Structure 1
Amino acid sequence: MSSLVRNASLLLAAAALPLGAARADEGMWTFDAFPAAKMKSEYGWAPDQAWLDRARMAAVRLTGGCSASFVSASGLILTNQHCVAECLSDLSTPGNDLLAKGFVAAVRAEEKQCPGQQAEIVTSIKDASAQVKSAIGTASGEAAVKARTAAIATIEKAACPDTATTRCQVVTLYGGGQYKLYTYRKYSDVRIVWAPEDAASKFGGDPDNYNFPRYALDGSFLRAYENGRPVATPQHLKWTGREPVEGEPVFVVGNPGSTQRMLTMSQFAYQREVNLPVTQATQSELRGRLIEAIGDDPERKREGTDTLYGIENNLKRTIGRVRALNDPAFYAGLAAREADLKAKVAGNPAIGNPWAEVDKAMTALRAIDAERRFSQPDGELVGYALTLVRAAQERAKPDADRLPGYSDSALPLLQKQMLDLKPISGWLEELTMRWSLSKAREYLGADHSQTKLLLGRESPEDLAKRLVSGTKLADPAIRKALWDGGQAAVAASTDPMIVYARAIEANDRRLQKIYDEQVEGPLSAARSKLADARFAAYGDSVYPDATFSLRITYGKVGGWMENGTKVAHRTTWSGAFDRATGAEPFALASAILASKSKLNLNGAMDMAYATDTIGGNSGSPVIDRNLNVIGANFDRNIHGLRNDYAYDMTMARSIGVTTAALEQALRTVYPAPALLRELYAK
C-alpha cells in the first residue's frame, strides 16, 4: 500500500466518514433531530426533551454572524467581546474609544443601544419540505430557483403575519434535501451592558488567533429590550463561575455559519484551484493596505481596528482551508469518502448520477467566477446605495416574485440595518472601494466590459474619492427618505453613489440570472439527490452542513497530544502574565495589570473541549448537563480549520472563555456588582 493511500485510509478512520456514521463528538445537530439514544449509549446519559427545550429557548442568534445566550430573567445576554466590537466602535467618538477602554453600565439607564443589532430565539421548527419541493416540481435551472424562492416567501409570510415581534425563515438543509421553517421571537432593541478592554479580549492578536493555549477575555454582556423595558426571559441558562473539569461532557448551542462537508470532489477542486487562491491573495492585499493606512494615527486606529481584526481573522481561516485542501492525504481522504458513497448507492435509479450534474455546474461557475466576484465594489456606502436601488425595485413586486432577501419576512431586519445610525469613516470607505475596484480591473482586465462599467474612464482611486466625498448616504435621514420614497425617489436621486448603483445594478442581475440558470438551479437538483444518497447509505446518522441556523453539538472538556506533549485543557491568569511582553499584541490590558494582586492567578481563563464548532459559533454558550453555562465559545484551534471540509477531532478543539474568568473580571478587573447580583438572582 502506498503511503498516500495509507494516510488517506488513516484519515478516513479518524474522520469516520463525515456526514455518514457520525462519531460520539461529531455533528452539528438540529434540535428536532438530536441523537439522544446515540449519546446515551456512548456517555451513559443524554438530555431529555425538557432539557433540549430549555437550552433552545435560552439560545440567541445575533445579527452579524454570532451566537449568544440568555443568562438572567431580565434579558441579559452572554456573548463574546468580538461579537460586540462593532457596536462598541459605532458608539465611540473621538476622545471616547469604548472599544479600547471597555464599557461597564453601572445602572440599566446607562446601557446603550447597538446599531443594527437584533436578538432572535427559535420558538418552533416545522418541516416545509413537501411544500417547497412540490412548488419546484419538474422545473430546472432559473425556473427552479424562482419557484423555490416564491414558495419560501409564501411560507414565511403565512407563518409570520406579525413581523414586529416574529421572524420566519425557511432554512435549507442537506443542500435541498430538507426545508425547515424556523420561527423566531425577535428583539430589535439590543443594548451593550458590559465589555472588557479590547486588549483583554484580543490578547495575543493575530499570532495567537486559532491557537491554544489562549489568554483572551473574550466575553461580553448585552440586554434585550422591548417597548423600552428589559425583556422577561425566564427560560435562561444558570450562571456558574466554576472551573471546567477535564473529561466532563459539555454542549455548545449556537448557530454555526457554514461548513462544506457535503461538497463533491469537483466542488472541492473549485475551492482549491479557483476560489481560495483568489480570496487569499485579495484578503492579504486588503490587510496590508489597511495596516499602512492606519499607521500611527490614533483616530484611524480607533475607526479601523475592528475592521482589521475581521480581515485578519478571515485571512487566517482562508489560509487554514488552503492548507487543508493542499494536503495530499487529506484531499485523498475526501476522494475516498466520495467513492464510498458512490459505491453504496451504485445502481439506484432514483439517485442516478448527481455527481455529473455537479461537475457540469462547476464548469459553468468557473467561467463566470471573476465576473461574479467583482460585480460591485466593497464598502458600507456603496452597499447602502445598491440595497436602496434594489429594494425599491423588489418592493414594487408581489412578495413571491422578489429576490431572496427582499421578501416581506426579510424586510424588517433589512430596513433596520439600513436606517439605524452608524458612523461612517470616509477614509476607510475610500480605501475599501479603491482596493475592490483595483482588484476587479486586475482580474477581469482593463478592456473587459464589466471593468469599463465599473470604472468608466476613471481610476479606482479617483472614482472612490469622488463617490465617497460626494454622497450623503452616511446620513440615516437621507437613507430613510430614499427608502420611504421607493422607486420614484431612487430614480430621481442625484446622489453620486445612488447614480453609480443604478448604473451597475442591472449587470448584477444579469450575472445572477446566469448563475441561477447554469449553476444554482442544477446544483440544487443535484444536492437533493446527493442528500437522498446519503440517507440511503448512512441512515439517520447524517447531520446537515452548517447554515447559520440553531444547532447543538457535544463533546468533552480536554486538551490533546501534540508532538508528544499533552496540551492542557485550561489556561490560567498566571499564564497570561507569563506570556505578556508589554508590546502589542502581547501587552496586557491596563485594568488587568492594575488588578494583579487581587486576582486568583491560578484560576482558569480559557478552556479547550472536543465539540464540533465553526464560525458563527462565536458567543455560543458552553453548557454542562445541569444547564449551567460554564463558558462562551470564541474560536477553534488551528487543527480545527480543516473541519470545514471533513470532521476529525484527533487534535482539533473548540476554545472558549470560562465563566470563572469572566466572574473574576466582573468582581475585580471591571467591577460590575449589580450585574453579578443579577447573574446569581434566584
Structure 2
Amino acid sequence: MFRKIVLLIGIIFVGSLVRADEGMWLLQLIEKNNYRDMQRLGLKLSAEDIYSINKSSLKDAVIQFGRGCTGEIISAEGLILTNHHCGYSQIQAHSTVQNDYLKEGFWAMTRTEELPNEGLTARFLIRIEDVTEKILSGLKETMTETERSNKVKELSSKIEKEAVAGTHYEASVGAYFEGNEYYLLVYEVFKDVRLVGAPPSSIGKFGADTDNWMWPRHTCDFSMFRVYMAPDGKPATYSKDNIPYKPKHHLKVSLKGVEKNDFTMIMGYPGRTSRYMSSFGIKQAIEQSNPAIVKIREKKLALMKEDMDKSDAIRIQYAAKYAQTSNYWKYFIGQSRGLKRLHVMERKEELEKQFDNWTKSNPDAMKKYEGVIEKLEKAYNVINQYNLSRWYFMEAIARGGEVIALAARFEPLVKELKEKEPKQETVKKITDGIKNSLPDFFKDYNKDTDKKIFCAMLEMFYNDAPKEQQPDIYKLINKKFKGDFSKYTEYVYGKTIFTDKEKLGNLLSAPNAKTIEKDPVYILMISFYSNYRELMGKMQEGNDMLAKANRLFVAGLREMNKQKVYAPDANSTMRLTYGQVLDYVAADAVSYKYYTTLDGVMEKEDPNNWEFIVPAKLKELYKNKDFGRYAMNNGQMPVCFISNTDITGGNSGSPVMNGEGQLIGLAFDGNWEAMSGDIVFEPALQRTISVDIRYVLFIIEKYAGAKHLVDEMTIVQ
C-alpha cells in the first residue's frame, strides 16, 4: 500500500501549500496539529474520542495484528477483523489437502471450533509519552554514531523498564524524525488469538498478483479472529480455560456506505516510509536495490510456482511463502516505475538546493547544517560500494534456500559448545528453541523445491554480486565442482542433515559441534554469513555518516519550514491518517470513479485462470440479487472504494472509519499510479484501496451462512 502524485515541485515541498492531511500522524498530537482540519472535512468526534489515556477511545479498538498488520475489535466479545492476506499464514498453517481452507474458506460456527495460532499476538496501545528530553539530555555532540546509538539503547531500556515495572505491560521507545524526537509506547499484548473465519481465496484473494496494487479492485480482503484472555482478564497463552476478551472499546459497524467527498480516517500500524530520503537514496533504489530485489524474487517465484502447480500439497506448503515474496516483488517494480515517471529524484534535488541556499543565507543555520547535503552524498558513495552484495545476500542467500537460514540458527549453539566450559542451560535453551520450531519448518518444507531455489540463488549471487565481495565457498565450488552449481547442490543436499527432521532432532538431543561444522550446508552458511558481516563492517562508516546527516537534514528542514506541520516517517507505531473518498485521473483520458461493485467481479471472471475464478454460490447470489440489507440504494452490491488517505505496508487490515468513528471498510492496498508514495506523497494520484464493510458482511452472512458473527457486532443502519 503506497501512494504518490505529480505536483509542482514548489507545491510539494513548500510547507504553506501542503495540506495537513498528508501524513501518518501521531495520535497524541492530533488535537494540536490536525483536529480543526479534520473537523472541516467532516469529523464529528472530539480528539479525546480518538486518543485518551483516561477513558475508552478509538485507539482501544485498534490492534497491531501479529508482526506486520493491523486489526480492529468489532464486538464486545473480542472479535477481530483484519485482511485475508494478514491472516493468510494462519489459514495456510491450518490447511491440509483434506481440509483446504485456502481454497474452500473456513468458518467457526461455534466458539469451540475457533482455531488457536501459536505465536500470533494482538497488541493494544495503552499510552504514548514524549521522552525526547530524557534521551537527548543524555547524549553529547562529541559522541560517535556508535556511541550515540549505544547510549540511546541504554537510556531507552531504562525508561522502558521503569514504565512497566510492577505490571504485565510491555514497552518500547521509538525514534522519530530520524532521531530528533523519542516517544515511549506502552502496550498490553494478548497471546491467544484464534481463527474465526476466512472466505475462500477466490474471494479473499480475488485478482491475486494481477490485481495486486491496482485499481479498480474487486477483492474481499478480510479474515476474522478472536482475542482470548485468562479468566482474570489478563493476557495468557492458549488454554481451554481462557475466555473471549472484553474490550475497552469496539467499533460500531456502519451500513450507511460512502459517497464522494465523505470524510474518512484510518488508524493503524504503518511499517516504514522514507519521506525524508535524499535524492542519493532514490538514485540507489532505482539503479541498485530495486532491480536486484525484483530479479531475485522473480526467479524464486517462478521456481515455487512450477512445483506448486504440480502438487496440492506443495501448493499449500508454499502458499504463504509465495504470497509474501510476490507482494514486494510487484511493489518494487511499481516503485521504480513511479520514481522515474513522477520525477521524484529531480524533485528531491530541488528541495536539497533550497535547503543548501537556506543554510548559506542564514548564519545560525550555517553553523548547524553546513555541508549536510554533501555529507549525504558522501555517505551513499560509501554504502553503494557494498549495497548490491548486501541485497543479494539478504534476498538470495538469507531468504534463498531455506536450509541456509535453518543452519544459521545453529551458529550460537556451535559457539557455546566450543567454549572451554559450555553453559548447559544456554545449550538447552538454544536446542529447545530450534527443536520446538522443527515441526512447523518441515510441515511447509519440500526438499526438491528448496534444492531448485538453493541452486538458482547460489548461481545468481555468483553471476551478479561483485567478485571481490564474494565468499570463499565459491573457490570450493570452482575447484572441486568446476563451477557446476547443479553438481554442488546435489552434493550438499545428499550429505546434509538439515533436510532431515529426524536426524536434526537426534543431533539436538546430543549436540556436537564437530558434526555441525562439517555439514556442507553449515560450511556454506558460515562462508556467506562471515563474508556478509565483513562487508557490513566496511559499510558502517557510510551508515554512520548517513544517520548523522539524515538527522541534521530533517532537523534543518523543519526549521526551514516552520509553518509546515510535518509527520514523522512510519515506524510500526500507531498512526492516524485522514482524508476523503475521492476518484482520480490516472492518466490522459483515464479516469477512475471511487467505488466498484459485484458487477465487476462477474466481468473479470475467468474459469481458466486461478486468479479470477468466481465461486458458484457467489454467482448464484449475484444472479438472484440476494444482497439483503447490504446493497446500495441503486440495488448494486458495493465491493471496494478509494480515499486519499496516507497508508503503507503495516496498515493492512486497518479500520476505515467515517466522521463518527464507525467502521465503513478495511484498508488493504495502494494504487499502481502512486507506488513511489512511501518516499513522496502524491495527493492527486495516491489512493488507499479499501474493501467496503457491506461487502464483507454480505460474504459473512449470505455466502458463508455465518450470520451469528454479524449478530455479534453493533450495526448502525
TM-score normalized by the length of structure 2:
0.82
Are residues 1:389 and 2:411 paired?
yes
Are residues 1:616 and 2:650 paired?
yes
Change (3 A) 1:159 1:448: same
After superposition, the C-alpha distances for 1:536-572 in whole angstroms (9 at most, x for unaligned) are 1223601111222211000111212344454222111
* Cα shift at 1:420: 8.4
* Cα shift at 1:640: 2.4
* Cα shift at 1:192: 1.0
1:437 is matched with which residue?
458
After superposition, the C-alpha distances for 1:128-149 in whole angstroms (9 at most, x for unaligned) are 3334445552222444444444
Task: Output aligned runs, 1:372-387, within 5 Å.
Answer: 372-375=390-393, 376-379=397-400, 380-387=402-409
User: d(CA) in 1 for partners of 2:158 and 2:671?
Assistant: 42
Task: Output aligned runs, 1:182-201, within 5 Å.
Answer: 182-201=185-204
After superposition, the C-alpha distances for 1:565-618 in whole angstroms (9 at most, x for unaligned) are 542221111221122232322221344234332532712111111101112211
Maintained 8 Å contact 2:656/2:663: yes
User: d(CA) in 2 for partners of 1:552 and 1:477?
Assistant: 50
1:450 is matched with which residue?
471
2:641 is matched with which residue?
607
Task: Output aligned runs, 1:135-284, within 5 Å.
Answer: 135-137=138-140, 138-160=142-164, 165-226=168-229, 227=236, 228=239, 229=242, 230-284=244-298
Task: Output aligned runs, 1:334-349, within 5 Å.
Answer: 334-346=348-360, 347=362, 348=365, 349=367
Matched residue pairs, number? 654
User: d(CA) in 1 for partners of 2:507 and 2:619?
Assistant: 49
Amino acid at match of 1:520: N
Change (3 A) 1:321 1:293: same
User: d(CA) in 2 for partners of 1:526 and 1:156?
Assistant: 28
Structure 1 stretch displaced more, 321-330 or 638-647? 321-330
Are residues 1:595 and 2:611 paired?
no
2:28 is matched with which residue?
32
User: d(CA) in 2 for partners of 1:134 and 1:418?
Assistant: 43
Maintained 8 Å contact 1:12/1:333: yes
Structure 1 residue corresponding to 2:444, chosen from 415, 424, 429: 424
User: d(CA) in 1 for partners of 2:342 and 2:608?
Assistant: 39
SS at match of 2:307: helix
Amino acid at match of 2:29: A
Amino acid at match of 1:544: P
Amino acid at match of 1:313: N
User: d(CA) in 2 for partners of 1:263 and 1:449?
Assistant: 29
Q: CA RMSD in A?
A: 3.5
Amino acid at match of 2:598: W
1:5 is matched with which residue?
none
Change (3 A) 1:670 1:449: same
SS at match of 1:68: strand
Amino acid at match of 1:434: C
1:73 is matched with which residue?
76
2:102 is matched with which residue?
99
SS at match of 2:647: coil
Change (3 A) 1:135 1:463: farther
After superposition, the C-alpha distances for 1:46-85 in whole angstroms (9 at most, x for unaligned) are 6412333322221111234211111112221110001111
Amino acid at match of 2:463: E
SS at match of 1:184: strand
2:49 is matched with which residue?
50
Gapped runs of 5+ residues in structure 2? 230-235, 419-429, 628-634
Maintained 8 Å contact 2:279/2:346: no
Maintained 8 Å contact 2:130/2:182: yes
User: d(CA) in 2 for partners of 1:434 and 1:42?
Assistant: 59
Structure 1 stretch displaced more, 588-597 or 497-506? 497-506
After superposition, the C-alpha distances for 1:465-484 in whole angstroms (9 at most, x for unaligned) are 666674458869978996x9
* Cα shift at 1:200: 0.7
Amino acid at match of 2:542: V
Structure 1 stretch displaced more, 270-279 or 324-333? 324-333
Are residues 1:551 and 2:575 paired?
yes
User: d(CA) in 2 for partners of 1:681 and 1:466?
Assistant: 62
Change (3 A) 1:471 1:91: farther
Change (3 A) 1:465 1:28: farther
2:631 is matched with which residue?
none
User: d(CA) in 1 for partners of 2:654 and 2:491?
Assistant: 42
Gapped runs of 5+ residues in structure 1? 1-7, 397-410
Amino acid at match of 2:296: T
User: d(CA) in 1 for partners of 2:683 and 2:593?
Assistant: 16
After superposition, the C-alpha distances for 1:417-466 in whole angstroms (9 at most, x for unaligned) are 95884532224433443333222212236675415279755665556566
* Cα shift at 1:24: 4.2
1:288 is matched with which residue?
302
User: d(CA) in 2 for partners of 1:663 and 1:448?
Assistant: 54
1:658 is matched with which residue?
692
Structure 1 stretch displaced more, 640-649 or 656-665? 640-649
User: d(CA) in 2 for partners of 1:416 and 1:353?
Assistant: 53
Amino acid at match of 2:304: L
Change (3 A) 1:122 1:280: same
Are residues 1:327 and 2:325 paired?
no
Task: Output aligned runs, 1:451-466, within 5 Å.
Answer: 452=473, 460-461=485-486
2:605 is matched with which residue?
580
User: d(CA) in 2 for partners of 1:455 and 1:224?
Assistant: 52
Change (3 A) 1:279 1:389: same
Structure 1 residue corresponding to 2:542, chosen from 497, 519, 528: 519
Task: Output aligned runs, 1:468-547, within 5 Å.
Answer: 470-471=496-497, 493=516, 501-502=525-526, 504-516=528-540, 518-539=541-562, 541-547=565-571
User: d(CA) in 2 for partners of 1:417 and 1:337?
Assistant: 52
After superposition, the C-alpha distances for 1:143-193 in whole angstroms (9 at most, x for unaligned) are 444444444444434444579x53322222112122222222111222111
2:371 is matched with which residue?
353
1:637 is matched with which residue?
671
Structure 1 stretch displaced more, 450-459 or 124-133? 450-459
SS at match of 1:547: coil
Maintained 8 Å contact 2:11/2:17: no
Maintained 8 Å contact 2:11/2:18: no
Identity between Structure 1 and Structure 2 (%): 22
TM-score normalized by the length of structure 1:
0.86
Maintained 8 Å contact 2:471/2:527: no
Structure 1 stretch displaced more, 190-199 or 418-427? 418-427
User: d(CA) in 1 for partners of 2:172 and 2:679?
Assistant: 26
* Cα shift at 1:99: 1.1
User: d(CA) in 2 for partners of 1:670 and 1:455?
Assistant: 57
User: d(CA) in 1 for partners of 2:252 and 2:473?
Assistant: 58
Structure 1 stretch displaced more, 319-328 or 641-650? 319-328
SS at match of 2:264: strand
User: d(CA) in 1 for partners of 2:285 and 2:274?
Assistant: 10
Amino acid at match of 2:548: A
1:364 is matched with which residue?
382
